[in-house]
């Protein structure tokens, strides 16, 4: 009887020990309230309280020893260091959800990486990695993967294990020196966000034909790619909600608007810093848009058809060459935020007062006269109106 009781006590002790080692992670809301430790020695003194550890930019050449003592650690940031290999202790962090290893000198990710079963976000861009372990396909909780700047990766090999990660939702392949997107990309069944920025040598016709085969893509980022036009196959991405075409200075916005017209789910369009001189009439046909970011261009003209964007809530036109707003702009009945500072704006039409939902209005300080400013105050007594002139970056 005594012997059996001893066994029960031992088993109970082991249960308590294992429970304390692998407690459930706290929620993202609770995590946002946690202290961010940036000094490893301080963190070691408070291991039971460390949920977030940021050791970025500290010239580390190796992962600190005893890191496995921080059993509650959920976010580990090791970006911009001099790491070459990973200390096996990292695999004991059973609650780890976010791991940033970008901008180091890591050459390989070992197969043991699969032991990080709770990992949801992995950032391993700007390293010297050539391949991903086949075991990465077993990481059933991985949702976000960034390979940005990994120009040495063997792209023909990595997409096979990636396509087996059922949880993968976001993939960053920016600045990877692609020629074409591998066709295997379409096999990543649940992919919703894809970043292909900074790949200007891409053969886009072929690449877009592969992209058109993806089933669930909602966000597509194509910034800084020397794009002039979009192929007709782009219109087949009928689940797209957000398209980022910023930093493409030769972009033909008329043609782009025509191609985007069939995308009835499109709500967010970023055309900032594209050397645009106007918002053409064709933009008025994108009637489901809720947000337009067209800042940092040379826009001096907006076609009156913009009034057809009756669902538009955010319009950012800062840092342009706009002297007057078009008649009919009052048709933007859902507009809540309008950014117009750093424009030589002198004229605002009378129907502007019809923007009853306007909450934030930012305007140039020096070009608008006192009468216009008084009218705006009377028209929008509850809106946050501010005037500012900010020096433009050269």
- 289-335 pLDDT per residue, tens: 999 999 999 999 999 999 999 999 999 999 999 999 999 999 999 99
Q: Does 179 score more than 80 pLDDT?
A: yes
391 falls in which pLDDT band (50, 70, 90)? low
Q: What is the mean pLDDT of residues 267-281?
A: 97
Cα–Cα distance between 169 and 232 in angstroms, integer?
25
Residues 6+ apart with CB under 8 A from 103: 79, 80, 81, 125, 126, 127
Q: Does 366 score more than 70 pLDDT?
A: yes
Q: Does 252 score more than 90 pLDDT?
A: yes
The pTM of the full predicted model, rounded to 2 decimals, is 0.90
* Cβ pair 260, 287 in contact under 8 A: no
Tell me which CATH code domain 24-168 carries. 3.80.10.10
Domain range annotation of the chain: 24-168
Q: What is the mean pLDDT of residues 240-260?
A: 97
208 falls in which pLDDT band (50, 70, 90)? confident
Which pLDDT score, from 0 to 100, does residue 5 have? 44
Cα angle: 222, vertex 228, 231; to 5 degrees? 75
Q: Tell me which of 8-12, 166-170, 171-175, 267-271 is least confident.
A: 8-12
Q: What is the mean pLDDT of residues 107-115?
A: 90
Cα–Cα distance between 189 and 194 in angstroms, integer?
13
Q: Does 390 score more than 50 pLDDT?
A: yes
183 against 171, higher pLDDT: 171
Q: Does 169 score more than 70 pLDDT?
A: yes
pLDDT above 90 as % of the chain = 73
Cα–Cα distance between 281 and 285 in angstroms, integer?
8
155 falls in which pLDDT band (50, 70, 90)? confident
Q: Which two tokens stand for residue 289?
A: 């848009």
Cα–Cα distance between 138 and 142 in angstroms, integer?
9
C-alpha pair distances (Å), 340 with each of 15, 73, 248, 359 = 62, 44, 22, 14
9-53 residue pLDDT tens: 333 443 434 444 456 889 989 999 999 999 999 999 999 999 999
Which pLDDT score, from 0 to 100, does residue 289 have? 97
* Cβ pair 296, 319 in contact under 8 A: yes
Q: What is the mean pLDDT of residues 336-359?
A: 96
* Cβ pair 283, 303 in contact under 8 A: yes
Q: What is the mean pLDDT of residues 133-153?
A: 93
Q: Does 2 score more than 70 pLDDT?
A: no
Which pLDDT score, from 0 to 100, does residue 264 have? 94
8 against 189, higher pLDDT: 189
Cα–Cα distance between 172 and 277 in angstroms, integer?
31
Which pLDDT score, from 0 to 100, does residue 274 have? 98
pLDDT above 70 as % of the chain = 93
Residue from 312, 346, 341 nearest 329 by CA: 312
């Amino acid at each position: 009887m005594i012997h059996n009781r001893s066994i029960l006590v031992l088993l109970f002790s082991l249960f308590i020990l294992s429970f304390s080692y692998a407690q459930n992670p706290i929620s993202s809301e609770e995590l946002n309230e946690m202290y961010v430790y940036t000094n490893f020695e301080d963190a070691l003194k408070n291991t039971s309280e460390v949920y977030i550890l940021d050791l970025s930019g500290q010239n580390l050449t190796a992962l600190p020893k005893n890191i496995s003592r921080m059993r509650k650690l959920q976010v580990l940031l090791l970006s911009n260091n001099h790491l070459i290999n990973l200390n096996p202790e990292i695999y004991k962090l059973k609650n780890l959800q976010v791991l940033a290893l970008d901008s180091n000198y890591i050459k390989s990710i070992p197969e043991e990486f699969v032991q990080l079963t709770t990992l949801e976000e992995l950032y391993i861009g700007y390293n010297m990695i050539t391949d991903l372990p086949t075991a990465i396909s077993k990481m059933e909780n991985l949702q976000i993967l960034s390979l940005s700047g990994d120009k040495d990766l063997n792209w023909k090999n990595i997409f096979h294990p990636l396509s087996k990660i059922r949880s993968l939702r976001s993939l960053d392949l920016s600045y990877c020196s692609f020629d074409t997107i591998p066709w295997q990309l379409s096999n990543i069944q649940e992919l919703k966000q894809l970043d292909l920025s900074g790949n200007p040598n891409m053969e886009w016709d072929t690449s877009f034909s592969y992209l058109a085969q993806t089933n669930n893509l909602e966000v597509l980022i194509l910034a800084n790619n020397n794009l002039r036009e979009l192929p007709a196959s782009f219109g087949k991405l009928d689940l797209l909600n957000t398209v980022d075409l910023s930093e493409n200075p030769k972009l033909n916005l008329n043609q782009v608007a025509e191609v985007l017209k069939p995308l009835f789910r499109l709500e967010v369009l970023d055309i900032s810093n594209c050397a645009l001189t106007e918002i053409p009439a064709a933009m008025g046909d994108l009637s489901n848009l809720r947000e337009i970011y067209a800042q940092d261009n040379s826009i001096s003209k907006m076609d009156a058809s913009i009034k057809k964007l009756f669902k538009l809530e955010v319009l950012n036109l800062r840092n342009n060459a706009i002297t007057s707003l078009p008649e009919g702009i009052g048709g933007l009945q859902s507009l809540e935020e309008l950014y117009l500072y750093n424009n030589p704006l002198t004229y605002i039409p009378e129907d502007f007062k019809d923007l009853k939902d306007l909450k934030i209005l930012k305007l140039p300080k020096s070009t608008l006269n006192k009468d216009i400013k008084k009218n705006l105050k009377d028209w929008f007594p509850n809106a946050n109106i501010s005037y500012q002139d900010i020096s433009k970056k050269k």
